[in-house]
Amino acid sequence: MQTQPPRRGLLIILSSPSGAGKSTLSKRLMARDETVQFSISATTRAPRPGEQDGREYYFKTREDFQELVRTNGMLEHAEVFGNLYGSPRAPVEEAINAGRDVLFDVDWQGGQQIRNSALRDAVVSVFILPPSIAELDRRLRARAQDSEEVIAKRMAESRSEISHWDAYDYVLVNRDIDACAAELDAILTAERLRRDRQPGLSDFVQGLNREFEGRLE
């Protein structure tokens, strides 16, 4: 019997301007599908109230973060809103080699680096747009997690982040969270079918052919 290469996991990248809904969509996806592994980023940003080290982020000093970069421990990294953020490499490689899909919440620079990495063939990238700039501003304020100064900085950067939308495989407008989450589900289902097409189905079609031959005998 023909041996098939082991199935590799997908790297699902979510990017958007701050406040468009990546974290909300990620949490919904993880709640529905426990096989998806979230890539917990490292950051030099201070924890928000309620955030726990090792759950939302690995909170690092600049020195420790830069040491991880220097030792090739990051799959990608970038400065965003004055803080350093990066995706630790080892858990991602371990997961996708074991066939698990990995979900990333990263800015456009991280998305670009992952798309250009050695893992590029496994990447599915999704850009999330807000329905309007006024609604983006409203969501950042309603989240009530950041100071006025931080919100102003994020709003000022949002135009530049949005300018990268066209580099992504899929673009969703997050008007209604249920509808947007359903669209993300549909993307994942279709991309998994595409990934599994070769390894899974050639065995299956060989089985159908043997069944044909049995009927001819």
Give one word for 27, left, alpha or beta, with left for phi > 0 and alpha for psi -120 to 50.
alpha
Instruction: Tell whether 117 is in a known binding site.
Output: no
CB of 41 to ligand LQESDW3C, least distance (A): 3
Binding residue for ligand ATP (CB under 6 A) from 10, 11, 22, 111?
22
In a 13 Å sphere around the CA of 183, the CA atoms on its Cβ side amount to 16
Which 3-42 residues touch ligand LQESDW3C, going by CB under 6 A? 18, 22, 41
Distance, CA of 118 to CA of 113 (rounded, Å) = 10
Distance, CA of 21 to CA of 19 (rounded, Å) = 5
Instruction: Tell whether 118 is in a known binding site.
Output: no
CB of 176 to ligand ATP, least distance (A): 6
Binding residue for ligand ATP (CB under 6 A) from 37, 39, 87, 174?
174
Segments in the chain forming alpha helices (H): 22-32, 62-70, 89-97, 108-115, 133-143, 148-162, 177-216
Instruction: Tell whether 86 is in a known binding site.
Output: no
Q: Which residues lie near ligand LQESDW3C (CB under 6 A)?
A: 18, 22, 41, 45, 76, 78, 80, 85-87, 105-107, 109-110
